């Protein structure tokens, strides 16, 4: 099983929030948890088509080639999941400039953790 670093774009069975099913889709690795006490886990953010209506926290993926994505896409930071690493397939990597935007959004949104 490959080790996944933050900023890796992977394809995983991402759970729906409103249906009892999953769909294999791209996601952005935010953290790898190899020693979680069970199987290695990944914290991931959904990546969705840029054709969808934008949500707060959606960030456009500008470098589709580096990310391994076939169509215009955006990281949907409002939809996070914990996935077992052994079901993830690597696609690519998020470009450095886009990483700054993800960090800034997460820092602002999770600021409650610093209170």
Q: Is residue 1 part of a domain?
A: no
Tell me the whole-structure pTM to 2 decimals. Answer: 0.88
Q: Is residue 79 part of a domain?
A: yes
Q: Is residue 54 part of a domain?
A: yes
CATH label of the domain that carries residue 57: 2.30.30.110
Domain count, the chain: 1
Q: Phi and psi for 97 in degrees, rounded to 5?
A: -60, -35
Average pLDDT per 10 consecutive residues for the chain, totaling 115 residues = 87 78 89 84 94 91 96 94 93 94 89 62
Rounded CA gap, 64 and 19, in Å?
A: 29
In the β-sheet with 22-33, what is the strand arrangement from edge to edge? Answer: 58-61, 73-84, 41-49, 22-33, 8-15, 89-93
Domain membership of residue 43 as a residue range:
8-114
**Is 24 strand, coil or helix?**
strand
Q: Is residue 92 part of a domain?
A: yes
């Amino acid at each position: 099983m490959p080790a996944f670093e933050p900023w890796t774009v992977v394809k995983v069975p991402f759970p729906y929030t409103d249906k009892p099913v999953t769909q294999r889709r791209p996601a952005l690795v935010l953290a790898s948890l190899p020693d979680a006490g069970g199987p290695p886990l990944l914290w991931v953010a959904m990546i969705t088509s840029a054709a969808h209506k934008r949500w707060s926290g959606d960030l456009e993926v500008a470098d589709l080639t580096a990310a391994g994505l076939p169509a215009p896409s955006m990281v949907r930071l409002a939809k996070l999941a914990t996935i077992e690493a052994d079901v993830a397939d690597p696609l690519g990597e998020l470009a450095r400039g886009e990483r700054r935007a993800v960090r800034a959004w997460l820092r602002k949104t999770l600021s409650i953790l610093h209170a």
